[in-house]
Amino acid sequence: MAIIRPFKGLRPKEELAAQVAARPYDVLSSDEAKAAAAGNPYSYYHVSKSEIDLPEGIDTHSQQVYDKAAENLQRLVKEGVLFQEAQPAYYIYKLVMNGRAQTGLVCASSVDDYNKGIIKKHEFTRPDKELDRINHIKTTLAQTGNVFLAYNDVPEVNALIDHWQNNNKPAYDFTADDGIQHTIWVINTPAAVQEITTLFAEKVPCTYIADGHHRAASASLVQKEFQEKGTITSVENPVNYFLTTIFPASQLAILDYNRLVKDLNGLSKAELLSRLDYDFTVEEIGHQPQQPSMLHEFSMYLEGTWYRLVAKEGTYTTDPIGILDVTILSNNILDKHLGIKDQRTDKRIDFVGGIRGLQELVKRVDSGEMKVAFALYPVTIQQLFDIADSGNVMPPKSTWFEPKLRDGLITHVI
């Protein structure tokens, strides 16, 4: 069963929360972070993307960058921008985007649960990205990035969170410049804290990583290093836990994650369309972009025209991986016709999260940068759970979750 703990969150003064809050470190470039933080000394980008305060061109994985992150974090504490909770607490985090709300529990999840597979994964991680987060955690002595977890709904947990929201004033409530509303409540009464801990221990058999695989893996590796050094003297040591926000599956939405390819692998447009006809029902749909309306349906944009591709029976299997649209696309188009064997390493392919819309695909193809684009129907949360339960991993760039949690609103100090 899932082990979670309350913790003494490091968080901003109420009136500064909107200025502190920053998008996750891995969804924007250093230049974008620098522009977003311009004129705002309280922005958490000074911690999560601290290269913005160093000379241009610096290696973002250098120790100087991690030292600057630690320096900036301590500055925010010394200036009173951030303060640490007086007693361990849980937090309710509600996000509203385009009228749709999702509400999760911010807690410290057990690293041992991650190591044992009680917290389930669906992606591979890369050692270079793990090392980056390891060095950031070890230097700042804090987990500054949230891991987004999901679980199958438990009515008792949902009811408790609803009751707390309806009967208590939030600590923060603001709308960010991208229109997403962020509201956070602090749960700090001993009875409520104990009830939540017990409910998860008794009612939640496992949780699933939706977003943040590298952050979770890095927390595990930091714990291992501390264990080997003999610096962990208690099971309740904060390094045995990592910062998570856990959402009920019923509230989550996964957006499409689309593909762009630089060339047709030596094929002409007519040749590609002819080849696709073997595995797909191909229909020209005109110049206006259309989102796929169901699983196993794709939209393709090529030379100014959109096409609907519907996978024929026999082009996919019914196992958790084989039935995914990203697998169908990979096996029957990208690999078979366009010569892309490994999407992780091939420089001819790029990925665009559905939050950018289909016009982003049109723009990049029409500009000549890319030759063809494929829009996919989103993976379902149940497909994600099925794959994690089976012990498999999804193909790269399969899921895009929105809205994103903001960094800086709650930090876990180790």
Other CB atoms within a 10 A radius of the CB of residue 140 amount to 23
Q: Is the pLDDT of residue 396 over 80?
A: no
pLDDT at 139: 97
Confidence of residue 398 (pLDDT cuts 50, 70, 90): confident
- Work out the average pLDDT over 40-51: 97
- CATH architecture assignment, domain 257-377: 2-Layer Sandwich (3.30)
pLDDT at 124: 83
**Residues 288-302: pLDDT tens digits?**
999 999 999 999 999
Q: Where are the domains of the chain?
A: 4-253+402-413, 257-377
Q: Is the pLDDT of residue 401 over 90?
A: no
- Work out the average pLDDT over 133-154: 95
Confidence of residue 182 (pLDDT cuts 50, 70, 90): very high
Q: Is the pLDDT of residue 235 over 90?
A: no
